[in-house]
Amino acid sequence: MAEKHIIFFDIDGTLLNEEKEVPDSTKKAIADLKEAGHEVAIATGRAPFFFQSLREELGIDTYVCFNGQYVVYKGEVIYQNPLKSDLLEDLAKESLANEHPIVFMGEEEMKANVPDHDVVKESLASLKIDMSLEHDPTYNQGRDIFQSLLFCEEGEEKFYEEKYSAFNFVRWHPRSVDVVPAEGSKAVGIKKVTDLLDIPAENHVAFGDSLNDLEMLTEIPNSVAMGDGHPRAKQAAKYVTEAVNDDGILKGLQMLGLL
């Protein structure tokens, strides 16, 4: 058996295919990893309430979410890094004036600052999540917001990037970007987990496919990009496996000698 490793998996485009399903080979691979004594975790841009059923299905209770701003180890919250509330309030007012809606994402739910907006609905529908989105333009006030979704066309985020250096704007959809703290990333969140564990760095593994995976694919020694992932993700990773639906997770783990 290989020495004990910890393996972090992105969700969309990595664990889940375009139909937002987990291939059978991936389910079995994760069960086999756990059976072999490895630690299995998730590292995602999603909010915790966006993947509870997936955690239950795969039996995973360690996860980095909101692109690294909220970290749970074996069911216990170990790290939180909310957006700066005063700057987020300014951003929300400015984006509203520019007709760019925002969704505020807290620990347990999310609210939009505009009601019933087509672009917001279209973007969130791509995640295939069955969740109603309520309108509350003051939801960001008086509570921690770990990530926001800013809805704007490609290139329009440059205006906000220049004005709000305390935030990173990471595109996840043709019509939307994640807004996260500038110093935050999946790699930062992952380190909060690995610092707790007596697992050497050379036994840390990460699988991802997208722009919000670049830091973890760059910084984790055994990083694997999905074959149908973003070109920059494949460039950042140490290894490239097959696409999700071509048993990419299983083949990547075999390539690393973990299965």
How does DSSP assign 85-126, residue by residue? HHHHHHHHHHHHHTT--EEEE-SS-EEESSSS-HHHHHHHHT
Cα dihedral sign, 197-236-153-94: positive
CB 233 within 8 Å of CB 213: yes
How many H-runs (helices) and E-runs (strands) does the chain carry?
9, 14
Residue among 189, 184, 186, 167 at smallest CA distance from 84 = 167
Q: How far apart are the first and last CA of the chain?
A: 9
Q: DSSP class of residue 43?
A: E
Cα–Cα distance measured from residue 210 to residue 143, given in angstroms and rounded to the nearest whole number: 29
Looking up tokens 């970007």, which residue turns up?
177
Check 10, 12, 178, 209 and give the catalytic one: 10
Active site residue 10: yes
* Neighbouring C-beta atoms of residue 221, cutoff 10 Å: 12
Residues identified as active-site: 10
